[in-house]
Amino acid sequence: MTYESFHRRSIDDAEGFWAEQAELIHWHQRPQQILDYSRPPLRKWFVGGETNLCYNAVDRHLATRADQPALVYLSTETGETRSYSFAELHREVNRAAAILAALGVGKGDRVVIYMPMIAEAIVAMLACARLGAVHSVVFGGFAAHNLAVRIDDAQPKLLITADAGMRNGKPVPYKHLVDEACRVAKHPPAHVLIVDRGLDQAMPRTPGRDLDYAALRAQHLDAEVPVTWVESNAPSYILYTSGTTGTPKGVQRDTGGYCVALAASMKYVYDARPGETMFTTSDIGWVVGHSYIVYGPLIHGMTTICYEGLPTRPDAGIWWKIVEEYKVTTMFSSPTAVRVLKKQDPEYLRQYDLSSLRYLFLAGEPLDEPTSRWISDALGVPVVDHYWQTETGWAMLTYLPGVELKPNRFGSPGFPNYGFNIRVINEATGADAAPNEKGVLVVVPPLPPGCLSTVWGNDDRFVKSYFSQFKELLYTSSDWAVRDDDGYFFILGRTDDVINVAGHRLGTREIEEAVQAHAAVAEVAVVGIADPLKGQEAVVFATLKDPNLVAEEAGRARLEKEVLAKVVELLGPVARPKHAYFVNALPKTRSGKLLRRSIQALAEGRDPGDLSTLDDPNSLEEVRRAVGSTGH
């Protein structure tokens, strides 16, 4: 089957197509209607069908693969390794579900999960799903204020946390943040359930509210908790979008549509097989972790790896050691992570047997060509760039190796995924952009299964946030894109990451690609700073493969001149940045995304804003020092 015929059918006969995909999961009661689109843009998939995410991820496999590893937990921070077969995972989830049920958690109740990357976090998510409860995972380490506003929006009955996470060999205490969040929240949970890892000896406890997970688990070792079957459109989880101000946007996911979308994606997008192993290097606090650490691989009968640690600790070969040891077939990471590894000795890659690996998938940000070429050549397997969002829950643009793997085009995440009717729209006219003309990436509704069903508790905000940019009813991605003459899509960055230089609109991503073309550059962020003459000017912040190149002022000046010349060479004089600064680290979130707005604020001498997700505080000083020391 060709990609074109597969995709076309998913658009022209959406109900027939998705009725077939619905056969990939278990239904307690079969759907009575495949699609209800009577209230655009709100839609319901598999109406009347009853199912359960936990049953599909765990119970369904007991008959055929009970002894197969389901979940492997590895921590290079604590040195701990634990493996759970499907039977053992089933037992643990029943114990956790019994604890939750005893605390009054039931169908439709919300549970906030604020935990590090440990096995108990995944067990807690599955236990919520088993009970028909709605989990809201908040990235572990978010500041107390960020946690509090999410608590108030979700209004959970219970919060599950740990005493601490671990990062780079040092404990990162969580409990004091939970206490402060509960103190300032208007709707604090009745109970806080704590997994005590023994990392924070001074952990405070609130009598009557705080409960010990291990003690309660011991009371429910033989518990058997029946699955709560829920209607397909019942919410499965809330995941708050990062970077929001005021009340965060809670992306609400359904149950049946999400289950079907993930099951199909494991087959067609990832070309994975039951019994194989998937290693996704994200965190359960992000959408990638939800979809492809927890639910997707388990629904597909695969072994999934939960990794707590850095890609460079104890050394830069740790990920490849995991691939060899667990015979990983499918790996999913981010361009940022690969750029980190690109700076390390390539010998770390060569010392392990990676023959089991069939694909490396990358997503989360645009993939630059030098990084893509480096990792492709190093691994000798297809490196599949694909593009999606928290809101969509799975890939919007991809190469579909499970259907027909099209030739890779560096820098492109490929073609519209099945189910997604994608267009590129001229922002000013609302008309379809011509080939190679920049526009806004949009999806013609109804959105396919797996995408957000609404914003938690606020249908009006759902419509206003995602469907109001154009006169025509279209889901806007808020990303710039172009489609070339052959139909390949390229993502150019956020629509709000635009620099207006003397009336010329320049995308920061385009300039970043040009800077990245210089052989000395490892990683780059481009921001627009205020300029009294031109309105804005582009400024480059870059890390180098060899920092010694700028150890002396003469070398720094020479390299800055070369980098700016490279931009002019590739994009023309109008795109020439004002300055290029060289730093040892760029400010990023713990998930690896560049904090461009904070960088911009520092470059303009302003407050960098909310830094609760900042990974390395020293990176902020790097930016401040670079801007100050050059006298610009």
Give the integer Cα–Cα distance in Å for 33 and 511.
Answer: 48
User: Please, where are the H alpha helices in 49-143?
Assistant: 53-57, 62-65, 86-102, 119-131
Question: What pLDDT was estimated at residue 497?
Answer: 67
Structure tokens at 19: 């009725």
Residue range(s) defining the domain that contains residue 563: 497-629
Question: What pLDDT was estimated at residue 394?
Answer: 98
Instruction: Determine, yes or no, domain membership for 102.
Output: yes
Q: What digits encode the pLDDT tens for the residues 165-219?
A: 998 899 999 999 999 999 999 999 999 999 999 999 999 999 999 999 999 999 9
Query: Do 92 and 83 meet the contact criterion of CB atoms below 8 Å apart?
Result: no
Together in a domain, 110 and 139: yes
The structure's pTM equals 0.84
Together in a domain, 147 and 281: yes
Together in a domain, 434 and 508: no
Instruction: Determine, yes or no, domain membership for 446.
Output: yes
Give the integer Cα–Cα distance in Å for 438 and 487.
Answer: 14
Instruction: Determine, yes or no, domain membership for 162.
Output: yes
Together in a domain, 231 and 175: yes
pLDDT, mean of residues 498-521: 77
Give the integer Cα–Cα distance in Å for 212 and 197.
Answer: 11
pLDDT, mean of residues 39-48: 98
Range of lowest pLDDT (44-48, 64-68, 133-137, 626-630): 626-630
Instruction: Determine, yes or no, domain membership for 361.
Output: no
DSSP labels, 327-347:
T--EEEE-HHHHHHHHTS-TH
What's the structural domain count of the chain? 2
Instruction: Determine, yes or no, domain membership for 10.
Output: yes
CATH of the domain at 528: 3.30.300.30
| pLDDT above 60 for 502 | no
pLDDT, mean of residues 32-47: 98
Cα three-residue angle 541-545-550, rounded to 5 degrees: 65
Q: What digits encode the pLDDT tens for the residues 517-557?
A: 899 999 999 998 887 667 688 999 999 999 999 889 999 99
Cβ neighbours, 10 Å, residue 484: 12
Together in a domain, 529 and 449: no
CATH of the domain at 462: 3.40.50.12780
Together in a domain, 95 and 186: yes
Together in a domain, 117 and 168: yes
**Whose CA is closest to 124, among 74, 62, 185, 195?**
195
DSSP SS3 for 307: strand
Together in a domain, 112 and 70: yes
Q: In this structure, which amino acid lies at residue 72?
A: V
Instruction: Determine, yes or no, domain membership for 357.
Output: no
Together in a domain, 466 and 609: no
Together in a domain, 15 and 144: yes
Cα three-residue angle 479-481-487, rounded to 5 degrees: 140
DSSP SS3 for 155: coil
Question: What pLDDT was estimated at residue 344?
Answer: 86
Instruction: Determine, yes or no, domain membership for 326.
Output: no
Q: Which residues pair with 172 in a beta bridge?
A: 165
Question: What pLDDT was estimated at residue 182?
Answer: 97
Give the integer Cα–Cα distance in Å for 629 and 59.
Answer: 60
Instruction: Determine, yes or no, domain membership for 612.
Output: yes
Q: What digits encode the pLDDT tens for the residues 383-423?
A: 999 999 999 999 999 999 999 999 999 889 999 999 999 99
* 142 pLDDT tier (thresholds 50, 70, 90): confident
Cβ neighbours, 10 Å, residue 437: 11
